[in-house]
Amino acid sequence: MSDNVVPLKRANDGDRPSLAPILSLTATPMNAVNAIILDRMQSEIPLIPALAGHLIAGGGKRMRPMLTLAGAELLGYQGTRHHKLSAAVEFIHTATLLHDDVVDGSEMRRGKSAANIVYGNPATVLVGDFLFSRSFELMVEDGSLKVLKILSSASAIIVQGEVDQLTAQRKIETSEERYLKIVDAKTAALFAAASRISAVVAERDESEEIALDTYGRNLGIAFQLVDDALDYDANAAEMGKDPGDDFREGKMTMPVILAYARGSEEERRFWQDAIAGFAVEDEDLAHAVELIRKHDCVTATRDRARHFAQRACDALSIFPDSAARRAMIEAAQFAVTRGF
């Protein structure tokens, strides 16, 4: 193992990992990013900033723009181009959330009623489109064709991932390989792009671009794996969404894939009915949680997340030790141990 490679902490290794270091590292530039977000979500049509603000002001970790800012700190970039680009990244993410909530019929997002419940599906879709457009305006203003290519490609991949997830919905035969392919597209692609563009604006060589892309991609996969585990391991207050959403929507996420593979014949029949949409009542969800607990599928899902988080940490080994590198490593460690 290289001297620069940091082994991943486990939850019982002492203090639990935290986002505090990366939040502190990026606090000042994040203020600039938030100001850009607030400015660019405005419109002479009052419904647009009202609906966009309903989600954007609702909190969220801002993980994706934070990765762009942290990468710039890691590379010692002194300019300000990454501020607008971080805002563009957050607009892409927010637009996909708005569209996702319409597709999924979600009722909660970030601890309150989802925008589609408050404002209706048509307005939510259109404001999502508005935010996508704003993100591309910000990219064009930056003027880098390379940045535009990276972020526009990621946007297309995200949509393809969402469509792939839709076609896999209610299909019990969905494999772990296909699930990870979906996650790589719908979640990890934007993490990777957000990380990579910091090396582009800092005018670093391709090896550093690839290292940051690898870091972001693996971090994104770890984050999504834990999100999917938490759907069967946390209450709505912690997650900010209805528990069991994935179950009721018939999504084959990692805990379900593992529970189905490890289950008895009777348990498999239950999962077949549940994923097909024939067993989605509260008592069915309780039984699903019981089976996932019985076969230790949440722990197994977190173990897989730990693997990807370690790969994220390893990708940073080409960079010298610094506060930024340590903060980014701890963010990967946090991805695995978090409870929200």
Hey, what domains does the chain have and what are their CATH numbers?
20-337 (1.10.600.10)
Helix 206-230 to helix 254-262 angle, to the nearest 10 degrees? 60
Q: What pLDDT tens digit does each residue of the chain (340 aa) get?
A: 344 555 665 544 557 899 999 999 999 999 999 999 999 999 999 999 999 999 988 767 899 999 999 999 999 999 999 999 999 999 999 999 999 999 988 888 877 889 999 999 999 999 999 999 999 999 999 999 999 999 999 999 999 999 999 999 999 999 999 999 999 999 999 999 999 999 999 999 999 999 999 999 999 999 999 999 998 985 434 555 566 889 999 999 999 999 999 999 999 999 999 999 999 999 999 999 999 999 999 999 999 999 999 999 999 999 999 999 999 999 999 999 988 7
Beta strands (DSSP E) in 118-212 are none
The answer to whether residues 40 and 91 touch, using CB atoms and an 8 Å cutoff, is yes
Q: With b meaning 16 or more CB within 10 Å and e meaning fewer, what string describes 111-148?
A: eeebbbbebeeebbbebbebbbebbbebbeebebeebb
Q: Which one, of 313, 11, 279, 63, lies nearest residue 191 by Cα?
A: 63
pLDDT of residue 10: 54
